[in-house]
């Protein structure tokens, strides 16, 4: 028997600061230099989200490989300095258009 799908339910994707280099640990401070998205904007798979300054280098963080459809930016971190595992961004899937 197929499972019943819940209508009106969307599962949001929360993205946290990943390990950016081999020796990256929780105490290391990473500073946000540029957001490539803003609240309400739509991101596509492979889009860049943010650029950060990690010790000695600039690193661009793209959408994760798990993101395979367009999503809308719901929330961005307000912090300017981050640590490994800190919240970055919350994305919500965009409902497919039914007006065809």
At 67 the pLDDT is: 93
Give the C-alpha distances (Å, rounded to integers) separating 72 from 3, 24, 25, 57, 83. 27, 29, 30, 29, 24
Q: What is the pLDDT along the chain (100 residues), one digit of tens a residue?
A: 454 555 666 689 999 999 988 888 888 999 999 999 999 999 999 999 999 999 889 999 999 999 999 999 999 999 999 999 999 999 999 976 555 5
Q: Is the pTM of this model over 0.85?
A: no
Torsion angle defined by CA atoms of residues 85, 86, 90 and 91, in that order, rounded to the nearest 10 degrees: -40
CATH code of 13-93, in short, is: 2.40.50.100
Q: Is 49 exposed, middle or buried (0-12, 13-18, 19+ CB in 10 A)?
A: buried
**Structural domain boundaries in the chain:** 13-93
């Amino acid at each position: 028997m197929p499972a019943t799908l819940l209508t009106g339910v969307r599962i949001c994707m929360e993205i946290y600061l990943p390990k950016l280099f081999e020796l990256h640990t929780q105490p290391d401070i990473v500073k946000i230099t540029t957001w490539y998205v803003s609240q309400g904007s739509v991101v596509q798979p492979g889009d860049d989200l943010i650029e950060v300054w990690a010790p000695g280098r600039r690193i661009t963080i793209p959408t994760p490989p798990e993101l395979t459809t367009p999503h809308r930016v719901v929330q961005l971190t307000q912090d300017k300095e981050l640590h490994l595992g800190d919240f970055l961004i919350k994305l919500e899937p965009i409902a497919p258009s039914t007006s065809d």
